[in-house]
Structure 1
Amino acid sequence: MATSQDQLSSVIVLMVPFLAQSHLNQLLQLSHVVSSYNIPVHYVSSALHNSQVKSRAPNPLHHLAKIHFHDFPTPHFVSPQPTKTASNFPVHLMPALEASVHLRQPFSDLLTRLSTTARRVVVIHDSMMSYVVQDTASLAHNSETYVFHCISAISRVSFLRDAVGGGLEIGHELINQAKIPSWEGFLEPRFEAFADKQVPFMKANKSGHLYNACRLIESEFLDFIFEKELESDHNMKLWAIGPLDSLTIFKKNSLNSSDANSEKVYYLEWLEKQKPNSVLYISFGTTTFLEDGQIEEIAIGLEKSEVKFIWVLRDADRGDIFGDEQKVRGPQLPKWFEERVEGKGMVVREWVPQLEILGHPSTGGFMSHCGWNSCMESMSLGVPLIAWPMHSDQPMNAALVTEFVKVGLAVGELGNRDELVNSSTIEKVVKKLMSSDEGDEIRKRAKELGDELRKATAEGGVSRMEMDSLISHITR
């Protein structure tokens, strides 16, 4: 029996994330925000990756209840062990990422069904899922499709510059190779082939583009991108709605340890005993593979620096984080290390709530791979970075942090990636950030930026107004 017009929802939103942790997380954050406007949100992914993102979400029971998760099957894929590659790109994840194309039919079936229950169906998809959503316009006449970009605006500009093979005039400044790294050498051919498969569907029948970026830190880059998009389609809608982590669920010092399993929060209890801004947090994300030799150099550098630290030392995610294949020998520290730094530092070998660590008053710095999630979280919470980019968009994000926004220090040059970063280099940059006048100045700038970014996402702030504009547009 057909649904009558008065039974239709005004609008429903389908979120279609790419099958990598940072991408899954950003669209989950956006799902929280959209659902807070009392709009039904459907989060579409594989059963495996839905389980992954939910297991790593802060306070999941409270915040996930309003989101409708759709768990779709993908064919079995191999889940090889992470290994070192020339580009540092996590090529071991490619079987899992390539499996995403098999979500095309389940997504289409869901879209067809849901399109009969709403006046408008809004599909917001990761740019790397353009192939999966390609049938949207032909299947649902009441649909609109928006591309969500999980990368920084500076990374997008770098991509556009590489595509034309030269400098770009942005505002009054020529952005050149010296200031913004190129993508060349930071991806793998196999991933580039996968990305090329998305291109024909990336702009077809698109109503707009969303960026997890903020005008406070990337205004010139965003203006340039928007100008280019409008040149090709003057009706294109564009929004910069970041930082999403500030728009959603975390407030500084909001941890209620009674809600957490006590054996999972020992590192937070340790943080409570430390002086403000005295602890360096170290984490290289979910896709970074570090060889044992590099781990040893980090360990020696940390010990020599005499700076207090929490080091999250986990191997890179495999394609299936729950599979038995995960249970293998992880990254190895020198046998002497933990005994010699006892009381001074802590090594954590499990998944941690990064926002809670970054938001703790004792945390005074963050040594990071500069994934966009980590950069935005660190900047939002006013924590300066030690930038150590590994692959993909991370070098561009590092440049933004160190060269443009100036709330971080670089570990070293991006070249010579086959060489280990030695312990003396690590010791020097850690001391500079954590125990020098220059580090104090950087920390002051980072705090001021964090305050401004949180204002941007509060009522009347520039990012909140962009989000309100997006919601007003899709519910018009």
Structure 2
Amino acid sequence: MATQHRQQHDQNKNGGLKGTGSVIVIMVPFSLQSHMNQLLQLSCLISSYNVPVHYLGSTFCNSQVRNRVHGGSNPVDQYLSKIHFHDFPIPPYVYEDEDGSDSNSSDNFLPCFHVTEHLRQPFFALLQQLSSKARRVVIIHDVLTSSAVQDARSVANAESYTFNCASAFNIFSHYWEEMGKPSQIGGHEISIPINNLYLPSVLEGLTPESIRKMDHEYQFLGSRSGELYNTSRSIEGNFLGLLSKLTETTISNEKKINIWAMGPLNPVTISSKVSSTGRRDKCLEWLDNQKPNSVMYICFGTTISMTNDQIEQVAVGLEQSGTKFIWVFRDADKGDHCTRARACCRSPSLPQGFEERVEGEGMGMVVRGWAPQPQILGHPSTGGFMSHCGWNSCMESIGMGVPIAAWPMHSDQPRNAILITLLLKVGVSVGDWDQIAKKQLVSSSMISKSVRTLMASDEGDEMRKRAADLGAALRTSTDEGGVSRMEWDSFVKHILRS
């Protein structure tokens, strides 16, 4: 994580920043693992400046995010021990549709919005308690928990900042479309090659109920004092600049909205310790015996549930490609704050004999459960990453210099895939988005072709070189004097101001 770069960066060298002056930070994440993890990493970063941080969430979600960060290789214990976790019991969410169908849609978000709705009261009680003994309370909340913090505007010494878990390109492209795709914004020429790009609709891959819930959250963004992004100017400088111009001229007519690029928040270097027990993971031992850049890593995040028919196509395509692989094979998170019909909770299954065959032949390895993703991506034998293009995974892959076989499923993922494949040019598309959006099968031949392109072609080698260059730039950005380090210092200096 970003905070590991601060371990030799003692307090008298932190950009002239001194004590907190009784400033307290409250973090309010959206209860998806990828969102919670990003705000937990940010919590550790801010805590490294000796600023007290309070992390608010459901009992289950807080436990989950703590356990999973311990599964990594980074020495975060010293930062986690400083964070004040507030665990609140949340009544279970009950799905209304119980047809048992598999889903890659944003239906998986509905229990998370349910958590958000129940955080408003405990958040405000905590805010009132902390504001009575602090000079300033700084609230950093996920865009999708805006309604939970709406009462902060009634507290005189509180100010709120939104945290965006999506790419700057994704956020900018939505605003840009709403403006009618102008060629200039605030006198700033749009010179980046996006005017002729096909941009998937924000509505594709989202259910009507999820869209309604998101629109509800966006209604409470007006009182924010600034915006934070988990990205770096070293990779998205153009889009961050355009967003700044846009906020000056369009989004905010009453006050200037400052933007800070706080990424990368994920690990950019990997230590040898890979678990809280000190044991080396089996999949990493398997990678130790493979050739450099020879293994494809496959993982579709925590919200994706593939049908068994699609799983079979993936399995066949991997075997057809002839490429060695590690496949993290697990169902989407369900959590204990929701309940579904038993049919909806059935587990996916691999084709009969597939796992035994590929492992017996030494071609691949199937990982069930949680995997040490940063360590896998950072291993010299890993040469590609088949991903759903969640922004957390994109940032981890870019940081490790690994190109992506992009297979977006919903939400911000299709536009993240465009950034990866067409703008940064560090990835290849697995399937056609129109096909994926209509929930049509991505064939084994398409999967095999994308894997071979990325792993065994001159085109793939060029992508790997560009990814390596971007990874080096991202890692350098966190060094003393780097663009990301300066953003960290700037934000902390801002919230500690007199």
CA shift for structure 1 position 31 = 0.3
Q: Would you say 1:281 and 2:333 are equivalent positions?
A: no
Select 1:451's aligned residue among 466, 472, 476: 472
Q: Would you say 1:362 and 2:378 are equivalent positions?
A: no
Q: Would you say 1:16 and 2:32 are equivalent positions?
A: no
CA shift for structure 1 position 130 = 1.0
Counterpart Cα distance in 1 of 2:160 and 2:320: 53
Closer, same or farther in 2 for the Cα pair 1:173/1:279, shift >3 Å? closer
Structure 1 contact 167–175 (Cα < 8 Å) conserved: no
Counterpart Cα distance in 1 of 2:222 and 2:338: 35
Q: Aligned to 1:18, what secondary structure does the other structure show?
A: coil
Matches within 5 A, 1:420-435: 420-435=441-456
Closer, same or farther in 2 for the Cα pair 1:327/1:193, shift >3 Å? closer
CA shift for structure 1 position 224 = 1.6
Q: Would you say 1:267 and 2:283 are equivalent positions?
A: yes
CA shift for structure 1 position 390 = 0.6
CA shift for structure 1 position 300 = 0.8
Select 2:130's aligned residue among 114, 127, 146: 114
Partner of 1:156: 171
Q: Would you say 1:256 and 2:277 are equivalent positions?
A: no
TM-score (norm 2): 0.87
Select 1:334's aligned residue among 336, 351, 366: 351
Closer, same or farther in 2 for the Cα pair 1:8/1:382, shift >3 Å? closer
Counterpart Cα distance in 1 of 2:149 and 2:171: 22
Q: Aligned to 1:416, what secondary structure does the other structure show?
A: helix
Closer, same or farther in 2 for the Cα pair 1:8/1:302, shift >3 Å? closer
Unaligned runs of 5+ in 1: 1-6
TM-score (norm 1): 0.91
CA RMSD, 1 decimal: 2.4
Closer, same or farther in 2 for the Cα pair 1:280/1:293, shift >3 Å? same
Q: Would you say 1:30 and 2:42 are equivalent positions?
A: yes
Q: Would you say 1:226 and 2:247 are equivalent positions?
A: no
CA shift for structure 1 position 267 = 1.0
- Range 148-157 or range 320-329, more displaced: 320-329
Unaligned runs of 5+ in 2: 1-18
Q: Aligned to 1:373, what secondary structure does the other structure show?
A: helix
Matches within 5 A, 1:66-465: 66-78=82-94, 83-85=101-103, 88-138=104-154, 140-166=155-181, 169=184, 171-173=190-192, 175-176=194-195, 178-204=197-223, 206-231=224-249, 232=252, 233-246=254-267, 251-252=269-270, 254-257=271-274, 259-260=276-277, 262=279, 265-320=281-336, 329-342=346-359, 343-417=362-436, 418-465=439-486
Q: Larger RCO: Structure 1 or Structure 2 (Cα < 8 Å, ≥ 6 residues apart)?
A: 2
Partner of 2:8: none
Structure 1 contact 120–143 (Cα < 8 Å) conserved: yes
Counterpart Cα distance in 2 of 1:261 and 1:151: 33
Identity of aligned residues (%): 51
Closer, same or farther in 2 for the Cα pair 1:243/1:162, shift >3 Å? same
Structure 1 contact 98–194 (Cα < 8 Å) conserved: no
Closer, same or farther in 2 for the Cα pair 1:122/1:272, shift >3 Å? same
Q: Aligned to 1:386, what secondary structure does the other structure show?
A: strand
Q: Aligned to 2:147, what secondary structure does the other structure show?
A: coil
Counterpart Cα distance in 1 of 2:265 and 2:99: 32
Select 1:48's aligned residue among 60, 80, 92: 60
CA shift for structure 1 position 412 = 2.5
What per-residue deviation string (whole Å, max 9, x for no partner) do you get for residues 48-69 of structure 1? 2111111211456444111110
Structure 2 contact 102–344 (Cα < 8 Å) conserved: no
Q: Aligned to 1:235, what secondary structure does the other structure show?
A: coil
What per-residue deviation string (whole Å, max 9, x for no partner) do you get for residues 372-397 of structure 1? 00000000111111001110000110
Question: Post-superposition, which runs of at least 4 consecutive aligned residues in structure 1 deviate over 6 A?
Answer: 79-82, 321-327
What letter corresponds to residue 251 of structure 1 in structure 2?
Answer: T
CA shift for structure 1 position 173 = 4.5
